[in-house]
Structure 1
C-alpha cells in the first residue's frame, strides 16, 4: 500500500509540472515590421502563429513542443504584417514563427520563435536583422578532375545534401549572396581511403541586386586533405 501511495504521489508531482492549457477564445492582434540591417523591407515573408503544448521530460521538468499552426500571413511591400488570432484551448503557449529561408532564398536570418506573452492585448514584434540575398550563377569548369562526386557548400545558400557535381564537365551552380561581401565557395569530396578533401574559392564582392555571374576553374591541385 505504501508503494502505491509513493507511486501515486510521484505521478501527481509529475503531472503538476505540466503547464495548463490556456483557455479558448482569447483574441490577440499581432503586428510588426521585418527588415534588414539597413531598414530595407523584407517582402512576402511568411509569418505564422504557432500553438505549442507542454510535456514532461525525464529530468522531472517540462518542455514546450510545436503542435500546429493557427494562422499565417505574408509581409506587405513595406515589410509589415498583421495577424489576429484566437486561442483554441489546446495550447499551453503561442509563438510567432517567421520563415527564415523562403523558396526563392531572397533572405535569411531568423531562427527562433517569439513567445506571445500578453495574450488578449496587442503584441508588437519588429525585427531588423535579416540579410537580403541575390542570385549569382557560378560556372565551375572541371579540368581533368579524376575523383568524383563533389559536394558544394555556400554559407547563405540552401544546403543540398547529395553530390551535385557527378561528371567531369562544366557545371553551373546558383548561389544566393549578400551585397558588399566576398563569398566563400566550398567544394568537398571523399577519397577511397575515407579522407575528406576540400577546395575553397573566394569570389569577389558584388553590389548588384540583379543576377550576377562568376567563373572558377577546378583542378586536382585545388583539393587539400582535411
Structure 2
C-alpha cells in the first residue's frame, strides 16, 4: 500500500512538472504601443503609467499558478495619451502582461491585457478606453447622533469611500465622479441585521471644477 502511494505521488509530481511551460528565450524585443483615451469627454489621458509584467506559469491541481517575476519596463502616456514601450524578454517567464496602475481620478475598466506568445518579437497595438473623473467634496451632516459607523459606497464607477465614524455629525469626503451623469451614493450601517441603507443622488453638474455638495441625513433615513 505504501509503495502504491509513493508511485501515485511520483506520478502526480511528474504530471505537474510536465505542465510547466518553458520560459520564452531571452533578448527578444517586442514593441507595444497605443493610446489611452476618454471618448466620453473627448480628451487624452496624459501621464498615465504603463508597465510590462512578467510571469512564470505552472500547472497545479486547481488550474494554473501565475508566479510574478517582476516588471521588465515601463513608460507613461504623452500629451496625446499615446505610448510606445519596447521591451526585451528576460528568459525567466513565459507570460507577459501590459498593466496600468489604479488611479482614482481615471476609470479604466481593464487594467491588464495579456501579450499572446505569438506577439512576442512583433509589434502589438493595445488601446485603452478610459473615463476622466472629476472631484466633489461631499459634506455629510447628520441631524441627530448616529451611534454606528456609516459606510459610503459610490455607484459609478463603483468605489468604497472612507466611512464616517460613529457620532460624527459633520464630515467631508473627496469623491471622484463622472460629470456627465447623476451620481448615486449609498450609505450603509453594517452593525445591524439586515443592513440599513440610505441612498442619495447628486444631480448632474457637468463641471470639471472642484465644488462642494452637502447632504443631510438622520437615523430615520436608514431602512
TM-score range, shorter chain: 0.7 to 0.9
- 8 Å contact kept, 1:138–1:216: yes
User: How many angstroms apart in 2 are the aligned matches of 1:109 and 1:157?
Assistant: 12
User: How many angstroms apart in 2 are the aligned matches of 1:175 and 1:107?
Assistant: 12
- The yes-or-no answer on 1:94 pairing with 2:96 is yes
TM superposition shift of 1:74: 1.2
| Structural mapping, 1:61-80, within 5 Å | 61-80=63-82
User: How many angstroms apart in 1 are the aligned matches of 2:160 and 2:39?
Assistant: 24
Gaps of 5+ in 1: none
SS of aligned partner of 2:205: coil
Task: Tell me which residue corresponds to 1:187.
Answer: 187
- 8 Å contact kept, 1:45–1:74: yes
Matched positions, count: 217
User: How many angstroms apart in 2 are the aligned matches of 1:62 and 1:177?
Assistant: 37
User: How many angstroms apart in 2 are the aligned matches of 1:222 and 1:7?
Assistant: 61
Task: Tell me which residue corresponds to 1:40.
Answer: 43
TM superposition shift of 1:106: 1.7
TM superposition shift of 1:194: 4.1
TM superposition shift of 1:56: 2.2
TM superposition shift of 1:77: 1.2
Structure number with higher strand proportion: 2
- The yes-or-no answer on 1:199 pairing with 2:202 is no
User: How many angstroms apart in 1 are the aligned matches of 2:11 and 2:44?
Assistant: 54
- 8 Å contact kept, 1:152–1:187: yes
Gaps of 5+ in 2: none
Query: Runs of 4+ in structure 1 displaced over 6 angstroms?
Result: none
- 8 Å contact kept, 2:146–2:167: no
User: How many angstroms apart in 1 are the aligned matches of 2:207 and 2:146?
Assistant: 36
TM superposition shift of 1:88: 0.6
Root-mean-square deviation over aligned CA pairs: 2.3
Would the alpha carbon gap of residues 17 and 169 (structure 1) be closer, same or farther in structure 2, given more than 3 Å must change? Answer: same
